[in-house]
Amino acid sequence: MPGIDKLPIEETLEDSPQTRSLLGVFEEDTEAISSYFSQLFKAMHRIYDAQNELSAATHLTSKLLKDYEKQRFPLGGDDEVMSSTLQQFAKVIDELSSCHAVLSTQLADAMMFPITQFQERDLREIVILKEVFQIASDDHDSAITRYSRLSKRKENEKVKNEVMEDVYTSRKKQHETIMHYFASLNMLQYKKKMALLEPLLGYMQAQISFFKLGSENLTQQWEEFLTNIGTSVQNVRREMDHDAEATEQMIQDLKAASDPLYMPDPDPNKIPVNRNLTRKTGYLNTRYKTGLVSSSWERQYFFTQGGNLMSQSRGAVAGGLVLDIDNCSVMAVDCEDRRFCFQITAFDGKKAVILQAESRKDCEEWIATINNISKRIYLSENPEEIAARVNQSALEAVTPSPSFQQRHESFRPSTQSRPKACRSGSQCSAGSESPALSSLSLDSLVAPDTPIQFDIISPVSEEHSSQAKSGAQGRRTNPFGESGGSKSEESEDSILHQLYIVRFLGCMEVKATESADVISETMRQILAARAIHNIFRMTESHLLVTCECLKLIDPQTQVTRLKFPLSSVVLCASHQENKRLFGFVLKTTGGREDGRHLTVCYVFESNNDGEKICDSVGLAKQIALHSEMDRKSTQKQRELDKAKEKQQEELQKQKQIEKDLEEQSRLIAASSRPGQPAADGQFLVLSNSQSEDSDAGEEGLKKGESEA
């Protein structure tokens, strides 16, 4: 005979929609069996009733034939031949009536008893177990609903313990009930065959024994077949007994192994978190918005299929698509005072879903699985092995730091250096994981063992804290090159002023600045670190883009948190898939003790398109470049004008000197004629001193002419 279809008892604890769908098939089959056997029972009961009626009718006929001679007919009542003939018929019919009575007894024992027992005992047991299972399932759903609504406040510990005990009891009761229900449904497949074959076998054997005297050939023809049928029934019975023993042993083993799983939040030390999964299934609570501020939660069965997240209601035949989780982002969140919540955001940032797991272990496994699928590890030949290597590398390379000052003092030099512009141009393009990124070594983009800063530390507050520790110590330079000292005076009439709302994701030191791949790799490592270490809080700021600098401003106090000179920004790019993510690379001098350049990549998430912010930064750098060129051109023109004015002054001085020399020459020439009288008739007599002055005047005249 062909194999028996069975329900998987080992999957009863998970109680997945696939198992429920398969259970529905078995229940539908049970209803069909019940309907069919009800009709078959009626037909066989009619045979049994007909046989009893035939036996009673035959006996009555025999009695009537025997009483024929006692009858007093008006005509021909004394017919002895007829009486003796009828007596012979009565004897034969009486013997035949005895045979029919035996046949009726055999039909009752061999045909009616098995089918009656199957219908009244086995099918009735299935109906009762179904009702008990439905009640246990409803109790478990109610307990899970109360457990999901538990608050995180500590004053609810007593209620929490009561609810968890209720979940444990209801889940255990449901598990035991469904295991027995599945076992009964599996046994029903065996009993169905026996309930079909045994009544037919009993009917045929009774009929053969009834007709055995007059149908030897018929008996010989059917004996071998009936013997084979009897042997098959015995084999099925032995197989049923063996399977019943194995099923009972499996139920006992599953009870012992599943006892720790009845608790909704098991101890992570006993059941560790598996972060190498590329497929995950289980029940989650999903959040639906019912209004502007109101929402509702619904418990559904979720599973991953390739790069898609699917959900399936308990009564549904197949699952539906919830979200495409290729290149998505996932992180733990706080939502409506519920525990173990996480949010999945699509690659384009337009769709996000919030889900709630039953336990911390389940929540972390879902986050790790979705992260592995987001990296498309499931497309490889050995996805779990590759996921293990990637997670191990991430754990070794990533160290979360809630306070960068406390853990990484070695990266902070004691002297302050001014930022130096590395490049005048800025590459503002949509950056993502390009095909060439796979061929590049990660060490060429990001320094190994590089710490990640997840929060914004104001350089001014750090300076005050360092001065409080040591008054004689000079103010140190911020490790990422932001100028935290005296602010340079900015022009209030800057051409470009654009403000964006951003959330700081993290920053880390990088090595390469020639390609936008370094920003994509930094985004990947920061998002992976946040997911691995459940860091979901982000600092919101206002990013002000001007022609002189980039500012991060506190939206509440309007205090400048960080300030980046625009000349130090060497690269700016957004993520190719998730356009809300963008980052820029800042390059400064003197950020290290040895005076080498310090290059840091900052990553943000915005409410707007990241490409627009990168375009604004590129426009600001272009405006700053043109302004610098105009300033230099104006300064050069001023220097030329000053040189011309100075040259004119020199020429005026030379002309004045020439006039003075001509006047002196005329006076000297007039004084060189001694016999010439003066205008008043007197002679002019030169003294020795005047002669010396005239000689000096001649020498000065010659010198002036030579200079001219």
Domain boundary among 557, 591, 625: 625
pTM of the model: 0.45
Any idea which of 130-134, 144-148, 373-377 has the lowest mean pLDDT? Answer: 373-377
If asked whether residues 210 and 357 sit together in one domain, one would say no
Of these ranges, 364-373, 523-532, 585-594, 684-693, the one predicted with the greatest mean pLDDT is 364-373
If asked whether residues 313 and 172 sit together in one domain, one would say no
Q: Give residue-wise pLDDT tens across range 203-252.
A: 888 888 887 765 654 455 556 666 777 787 788 889 989 999 999 999 99
For residue 161, the model assigns a pLDDT of 84
Mean pLDDT of the chain: 76
User: What is the mean pLDDT of the segment spanning 260-272?
Assistant: 78
For residue 447, give Cα distances in angstroms to 127, 438, 442, 530: 67, 17, 8, 19
- 276 belongs to a structural domain: no
If asked whether residues 130 and 22 sit together in one domain, one would say yes
pLDDT at 482 over 60: no
Q: What is the CATH number of the domain that holds 88?
A: 1.20.1270.60
User: What is the mean pLDDT of the segment spanning 692-707?
Assistant: 50
- Which residue(s) pair with 539 in the sheet? 504
* Residue of 154 and 443 predicted with greater confidence: 154
User: What is the mean pLDDT of the segment spanning 71-78?
Assistant: 69
For residue 276, give Cα distances in angstroms to 272, 367, 378: 12, 11, 11
Domain boundary among 324, 350, 381: 381
What is the percent of the chain with per-residue pLDDT over 90, rounded to a whole number? 6
- 124 belongs to a structural domain: yes
Distance CA 331, CA 343 (A): 6
If asked whether residues 340 and 192 sit together in one domain, one would say no
Q: What is the CATH number of the domain that holds 365?
A: 2.30.29.30
For residue 686, the model assigns a pLDDT of 41
For residue 394, the model assigns a pLDDT of 58
For residue 333, give Cα distances in angstroms to 278, 401, 530, 531, 534: 22, 19, 12, 11, 9
For residue 440, the model assigns a pLDDT of 41
Distance CA 527, CA 506 (A): 9
Return left, alpha or beta for 310; rule: phi > 0 is left, psi -120 to 50 is alpha, else beta. Answer: beta
Of these ranges, 135-144, 403-412, 678-687, the one predicted with the greatest mean pLDDT is 135-144
pLDDT at 492 over 90: no
If asked whether residues 15 and 142 sit together in one domain, one would say yes
User: What is the mean pLDDT of the segment spanning 603-610?
Assistant: 82
Q: Give residue-wise pLDDT tens across range 13-58.
A: 888 888 888 888 888 888 998 899 899 999 998 988 998 898 888 8
If asked whether residues 206 and 288 sit together in one domain, one would say no
Any idea which of 133-142, 458-467, 544-553 has the lowest mean pLDDT? Answer: 458-467
Distance CA 365, CA 103 (A): 68
Domain containing residue 120: 9-71+78-151+158-218
**Which stretch of DSSP H or E encloses residue 561?**
strand 560-565
For residue 241, give Cα distances in angstroms to 190, 238, 245: 10, 5, 6
pLDDT at 284 over 90: yes
Q: DSSP state, 554?
A: -
* Residue of 526 and 487 predicted with greater confidence: 526
If asked whether residues 178 and 306 sit together in one domain, one would say no
Neighbours of 610 (CB within 10 A): 26
- 142 belongs to a structural domain: yes
For residue 580, the model assigns a pLDDT of 82
For residue 128, the model assigns a pLDDT of 92
- 63 belongs to a structural domain: yes
If asked whether residues 180 and 317 sit together in one domain, one would say no
For residue 593, the model assigns a pLDDT of 59
Domain boundary among 196, 218, 240: 218
- 98 belongs to a structural domain: yes
If asked whether residues 57 and 192 sit together in one domain, one would say yes
* Residue of 398 and 513 predicted with greater confidence: 513
**Cα four-point dihedral sign 435, 436, 439, 440:** negative
For residue 311, the model assigns a pLDDT of 92
Q: How many domains does the chain have?
A: 3
* Residue of 81 and 549 predicted with greater confidence: 549
- 16 belongs to a structural domain: yes
Any idea which of 178-192, 464-478, 680-694 has the lowest mean pLDDT? Answer: 464-478
* Residue of 125 and 417 predicted with greater confidence: 125
For residue 214, the model assigns a pLDDT of 56
Distance CA 9, CA 229 (A): 31
Q: DSSP state, 111?
A: I
Any idea which of 97-111, 424-438, 596-610, 694-708 has the lowest mean pLDDT? Answer: 424-438
* DSSP per residue, 602-620: EEEEESS-HHHHHHHHHHH
Range 11-49 burial, b when 16+ CB lie within 10 A, else e? ebbebbbbbbebbeebeeebeebbeebeebbeebeeebe
The residue written with tokens 């993520």 in the block is 575
Q: Going along 266-386, which residue ranges are E strands?
A: 281-289, 295-305, 308-312, 320-324, 329-335, 338-345, 352-356
For residue 245, the model assigns a pLDDT of 92
User: What is the mean pLDDT of the segment spanning 610-614?
Assistant: 87
pLDDT at 355 over 90: yes
Q: Which two tokens stand for residue 99?
A: 């045979």
Q: Which two tokens stand for residue 235?
A: 């084999």
If asked whether residues 31 and 134 sit together in one domain, one would say yes
pLDDT at 410 over 70: no
If asked whether residues 370 and 510 sit together in one domain, one would say no
Q: Give residue-wise pLDDT tens across range 615-649.
A: 888 888 888 888 888 888 888 888 888 888 888 88
The residue written with tokens 């300076």 in the block is 463
For residue 374, the model assigns a pLDDT of 84
User: What is the mean pLDDT of the segment spanning 524-529?
Assistant: 85
Q: What is the CA radius of gyration of the chain?
A: 52
* DSSP per residue, 212-254: TTT-HHHHHHHHHHHHHHHHHHHHHHHHHHHHHHHHHHHHHHH
User: What is the mean pLDDT of the segment spanning 435-452?
Assistant: 56
pLDDT at 559 over 50: yes
- 485 belongs to a structural domain: no
- 551 belongs to a structural domain: yes
If asked whether residues 170 and 305 sit together in one domain, one would say no
* Residue of 607 and 125 predicted with greater confidence: 125
For residue 443, the model assigns a pLDDT of 54
What is the percent of the chain with per-residue pLDDT over 70, rounded to a whole number? 76
Distance CA 480, CA 586 (A): 8
